Amino acid sequence: VYEPRVVKLFARHYQTGQTIPDELLQRLHLAQNCFQAHRTQVQVACAMFDHEFHGPYPLTQS
């Protein structure tokens, strides 16, 4: 969850009850797309693996 209004509803310090600071929310928002290319590559690899083992047409000629 990266919507500041939503995060502020539940993101509180466990001892003080203070809400998460706006600066930290902004940094979380900026980091949201960090490593997105890697996550996409992993997702494609998983899809290829799934297709190879469960698809009707294998990716390689065997």
Contact of 52 with 59, CB cutoff 8 Å: yes
Express each pLDDT in 4-31 by its tens digit. 889 889 989 999 999 999 999 889 888 8
pLDDT at 62: 58
Contacts 24+ apart (CB under 8 A), 31-36: 32/2
* pTM (2 d.p.): 0.51
For the chain, the domains span 4-54
Look at residue 16 in the predicted model and tell me its pLDDT. Answer: 95
Distant-in-sequence contacts of 7-12, Cβ < 8 A, 24+ apart: none
DSSP 8-class letter at 12: B
As beta bridge partners, residue 12 has 19
Query: Tokens representing 52?
Result: 């190879």
